[in-house]
């Protein structure tokens, strides 16, 4: 019944497209990292491990560590905030749920740049946030809300939050509230039931949320550039610098590949779990 020729024919368009426009560029980028840098900004002949030697330098590990750290904080905050939000949506009547979900996700569909820019306006020294805080006496005249790490984390959480709510809500929707009632009847406190019953059953959703937030965070470039200060350099900015001002293509490729490699195991794990589940 299932015609093998039909399968090949139907699969071909998207398969070939992604092969040519994704798999090949990916492999190409990876291979670039093994070529010597040409002083004029291209790549020379032959193969070398020069580009990868940068990882031996101390400075890089500081940047990588900072990137990972910021990502972990952002991811944790996003999940922590997403949990009660998703819970509230689940408790609404089914008629309202899709609309509440849309309300949460809508800002995410606006242009990335617009959202970062909106925060710059909001947090600027002459902006509304600063004016309010100063008039309330909570902020001194010279203090700055921008150009520091907390601001970067704040804006990153803002950017990624809807992506955490989506999978957690999807998992929570399947959760049976009768289990909670049973737990109450047996004497469990609110927090006990939450941690021991709800969380484990939406584990898959939390993992998905962690990936959907964590991976873009690792590669974040625009936010640390526009919102961050001197202590906020992340891996994305370094890649941009290598590419644009240092004319070192192989190093940019090496760093980008390192970035991809950081995210890859987690992704493959999730894909496999989906197959099994």
Binding residues for other proteins restricted to 8-37, rule: CB under 8 A:
8, 10-11, 13-15, 17-19, 21-26, 28-29, 32
Give the DSSP per-residue string, 163-211.
Answer: HHHHHHHHHHHT--THHHHHHHHTT--HHHHIIIIIHHHTHHHHHHHHH
Site string (232-261) toward other proteins, x via CB under 8 A? -x--x--xx--xxxxxxx--xx--x--xx-
Q: Is 110 helix (H, G, I), strand (E, B) or coil?
A: coil
Give the one residue of 68, 73, 81, 149 binding other proteins; rule: CB under 8 A.
81
Identify which of residues 177 and 203 has a Cβ nearer to other proteins in the complex. 177
Identify which of residues 10 and 203 has a Cβ nearer to other proteins in the complex. 10
Q: Is 43 helix (H, G, I), strand (E, B) or coil?
A: strand
Cα separation, 45 vs 27, in Å, equals 18
Identify which of residues 72 and 144 has a Cβ nearer to other proteins in the complex. 144
In the window 39-78, what residues touch other proteins (CB under 8 A)?
Answer: 39-42, 57-59, 62-63
- Residue 178 as a binder of other proteins (CB under 8 A): the answer is no
In the window 122-161, what residues touch other proteins (CB under 8 A)?
Answer: 122, 124-128, 130-131, 142, 144, 146-147, 158, 161
Cα separation, 194 vs 151, in Å, equals 31
**Residues in contact with 170: Cβ distance below 8 Å, sequence separation at least 6, in sequence order:** 205, 208
**Residue 257: Cβ within 10 Å count:** 20
DSSP state of 38: P
* Min CB(83)–other proteins separation in Å: 9
User: How far is residue 172 from each of residues 88, 104, 108, 115, 196, measured CA to CA in Å?
Assistant: 10, 16, 21, 28, 14
Number of residues that bind other proteins (CB under 8 A): 112
Give the one residue of 51, 74, 77, 162 binding other proteins; rule: CB under 8 A.
162
Identify which of residues 19 and 199 has a Cβ nearer to other proteins in the complex. 19
Give the one residue of 35, 216, 223, 254 binding other proteins; rule: CB under 8 A.
216
Distance from the Cα of residue 208 to its chain's centroid? 11
């Amino acid at each position: 019944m299932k015609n093998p020729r039909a399968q090949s024919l139907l699969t071909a368009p998207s398969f070939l497209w992604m092969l040519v426009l994704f798999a090949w560029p990916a492999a190409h980028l990876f291979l670039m990292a093994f070529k010597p840098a040409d002083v004029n900004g291209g790549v020379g002949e032959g193969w070398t491990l020069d580009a990868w030697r940068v990882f031996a330098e101390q400075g890089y590990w500081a940047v990588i560590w900072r990137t990972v750290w910021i990502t972990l904080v952002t991811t944790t905050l996003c999940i922590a905030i997403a949990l009660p939000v998703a819970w509230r949506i689940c408790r609404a009547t089914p008629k309202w749920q899709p609309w509440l979900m849309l309300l949460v996700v809508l800002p995410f569909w606006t242009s990335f740049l617009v959202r970062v820019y909106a925060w710059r306006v909001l947090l600027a020294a002459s902006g509304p946030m600063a004016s309010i805080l100063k008039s309330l006496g909570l902020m001194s005249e010279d203090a700055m809300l921008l150009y520091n790490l907390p601001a970067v984390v704040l804006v990153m959480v803002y950017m990624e939050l809807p992506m955490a709510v989506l999978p957690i809500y999807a998992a929570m929707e399947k959760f049976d509230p009768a289990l909670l009632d049973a737990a109450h009847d047996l004497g469990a406190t609110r927090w006990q039931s939450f941690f021991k019953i709800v969380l484990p059953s939406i584990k898959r959703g939390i993992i998905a949320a962690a990936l959907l937030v964590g991976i873009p965070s690792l590669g974040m470039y625009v936010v640390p550039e526009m919102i961050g200060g001197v202590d906020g350099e992340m891996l994305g900015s370094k890649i941009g610098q290598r590419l644009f001002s240092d004319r070192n293509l192989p190093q940019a490729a090496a760093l980008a590949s390192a970035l991809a490699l950081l995210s890859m195991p987690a992704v493959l794990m999730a894909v496999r779990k989906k197959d099994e589940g």
